[in-house]
Structure 1
Amino acid sequence: MTTSLSAPNRLPWPPIIYLAAIAAGIVLLVVYPLPWIEGPLADILFAAGWLLAAAGAFIGLAAVRVMHKARTTIMPNRISEHLVTSGPFSFTRNPIYLCNTMITLGVGLIVGSIWFLLAGVVAAFVVQKVTIEREEKHLAARFGKKYRDYAARVRRWV
């Protein structure tokens, strides 16, 4: 049961999950490489990968900066001190997880690996089930109506 004074998770799952997804992507790329798109479309996907990864990094850095300024933790296994709704949090409730997913997908496009794309999608799904849903309960218990109004206004991902 989540109370306003209990942490949403015991472990910081998201970094572990995304690192496992990246490791799985690397191993599968080496052990069982899948065919990739050839020609000009491959170049476009390569460039799109860099843009996606850079945008993800920008969103993540902006989110960390806003959370630091609000004096609340970025650790998903710690109690939130303040509800942050500005900066990237004004268009997604989970900008850091969105950042991690975008970077993983971007790397997939850069290296031309379907495995990384699949790993990014699976990691996002697992993070939502293992972390986000627990964090949402924690934030609702901690901040009540203020969080529920925010959640009704801003989407979970994008």
Structure 2
Amino acid sequence: MTDVVSFRLWPPVAIGVPLLAGLAVSAAWDDPVEPGSWRVPVGWLLVAVFVVWNGWSLWLFAHHETGLLPGDATTSMIESGPYRLSRNPLYVGLLALYLAIALLASSFWALVLLPLAVALVLWGAILPEERFLESRFGEPYDDYRAKVRRWL
């Protein structure tokens, strides 16, 4: 048994490629819809949420001395902080940042491609990670999965 997750697709790539594609399409052609001025404060609020949420999540990785990056060993399960609300708080935070950037850039096409980013991170990272954690931690992970939602 390995102590390292084998991703199908690295999470920043799964989320970043649709975002960059949407921003590129918006830059090349006019967006069919202008979302309005509300997008700026909502975008900045989402940036703040991302910084706090992901900062807290990353701090917990360091505190538990467990691997964060691909290739790092996973030595413990984290069930506190944001992990009480989501089994994947880092991905939730990255998707909030995606939405923030799309809103701040006023990119209709990036917003349209957000579901693709969700699907790619689910297929490429979350499902392989869940299989890995099930095999690595067994019943404690099953109990955690029964109590905490995948997203929020």
TM-score, with normalisation over the residues of structure 1? 0.87
One-letter amino acid matched to 1:63: S
- SS, match of residue 123 in structure 1: helix
- Structure 2: gaps of 5 or more residues: none
Partner in structure 2 of residue 20 of structure 1: 17
2:117 counterpart (94, 110, 123) = 123
Aligned mates of 1:111, 1:144 — CA distance in 2: 43
Contact preservation (8 Å) 1:95, 1:157: yes
User: Is 1:147 aligned to residue 144 of structure 2?
Assistant: no
One-letter amino acid matched to 1:22: L
Contact preservation (8 Å) 2:14, 2:124: no
Contact preservation (8 Å) 1:12, 1:75: no
User: Is 1:49 aligned to residue 64 of structure 2?
Assistant: no
Partner in structure 2 of residue 32 of structure 1: 29
One-letter amino acid matched to 1:107: I
2:108 counterpart (106, 114, 128) = 114
Aligned mates of 1:72, 1:44 — CA distance in 2: 40
After TM superposition, which residue ranges in structure 1, 4 or more long, deviate above 2 angstroms?
35-38, 76-79, 118-121
User: Is 1:8 aligned to residue 5 of structure 2?
Assistant: yes
- Structure 1: gaps of 5 or more residues: none
Deviations 1:117-152 (A, max 9, x none): 123321121010111001001101111111111111
Aligned length: 152
Contact preservation (8 Å) 2:50, 2:96: yes
Aligned mates of 1:51, 1:36 — CA distance in 2: 22
Q: What RMSD in Å do the two structures reach over aligned CA positions?
A: 1.8
Deviation at 1:12, TM superposition (A): 6.3
Deviations 1:27-84 (A, max 9, x none): 111122313336xxx1222211111222122211110001110001112454411000
One-letter amino acid matched to 1:21: P
Contact preservation (8 Å) 1:21, 1:120: yes
Deviation at 1:6, TM superposition (A): 4.9
